[in-house]
Amino acid sequence: MRRALRWFRNAIAAVVVLLLIAAATVYALSERVIRRTYDEPLVTISIPTDSASIAEGGRIALIHGCRGCHARDMSGQVWEDDAWFGRQNAPSLPDAAQRYSDEELVRIIRRGVRPDGRSVWSMTSEMFAPLTDADVGKIIAYVRSVPPTAGLPHLFAPGPVARWEMVRGEYRPAAEVVWETDSVTAAGYYPSGEEPNALGAYLARTSCPECHNLMLQGYPGDTPDLGMLAAYTPEQFAHFFATGEALGGRELPLMSLMARNRFSNFTDEEEAALYAYLVDRAEALQAGR
């Protein structure tokens, strides 16, 4: 009996030791991922100072989600607060603008790299990488125009689940995702320059991938391929963006809210261009082009 109890205690102790070793290993490997630095150059762009550009920067920041993740007034908000996944803030952007140079802000937005060379997390920089100098400049001008507040500071405290997903490569630093998605842009998947539907493609590329993936194909069981919007007439599409009411008077999870809060701020020209691109893309896919 004593021998059995002693064996049981030893077995439990061995399991505990193995779990501690595993936890320490996961922590060490995830720390290597978190502390990794990225060689991304600082780029200088023109930052406008006129009131019209600043106001336009506020609209662009709203459309592309800056004023969603970081709160409408940019003061920041808690992005994650979970015992297992961890705690994370989308910090106050006006406060950050006081500490960072224009070049550092450009690099964070487009490349997901902080001033210390480390990556940001949970920010969709891969979606913002193709933003034009003009649009990024207006966003920065707007952020700098907002008076600093007692907003939330930067906070990234990953929990055990987040660290495990880092080790498995399922939860990845934004800077690495940007590198991967650069190839999609370079390959010409999206029309650009003087090509037909270039404006609509630009708006889709910089507004939709956070929910529908970079190829706009959606995530199975979660979000649809955006080709489904070809079922809308231009008038129905405009109504959906203005009110969040989908075909059949439906309220869609998250998307209806996104339409009302963000996409209703598209200009008529932008809305028409986005619709034309999505319909053309759907027809091309259906025809196997």
**Average of pLDDT values for 253-274?**
92
Q: Which CATH superfamily is domain 188-286 in?
A: Cytochrome c-like domain (1.10.760.10)
For position 289, what pLDDT does the model report? 59
For position 21, what pLDDT does the model report? 86
- How far is residue 140 from each of residues 29, 67, 288, measured CA to CA in Å? 35, 13, 41
Q: Name which residue leads in pLDDT, 239 or 288.
A: 239
Give just the sign of the alpha carbon dihedral 35, 107, 74, 63: negative
Given a cut of 90, whether residue 82 has pLDDT beyond it is yes
Show Cβ contacts of residue 2 under 8 Å, excluding neighbours closer than 6 positions: none
pLDDT in tens, 207-258: 999 899 889 999 988 899 998 888 899 999 999 999 999 988 999 888 899 9
Strand 155-158 with 245-246, pairing: unpaired
Lowest mean pLDDT segment, chosen from 167-171, 182-186, 210-214: 182-186
Given a cut of 70, whether residue 129 has pLDDT beyond it is yes
Given a cut of 70, whether residue 169 has pLDDT beyond it is yes
For position 72, what pLDDT does the model report? 87
For position 187, what pLDDT does the model report? 78
Given a cut of 90, whether residue 206 has pLDDT beyond it is yes
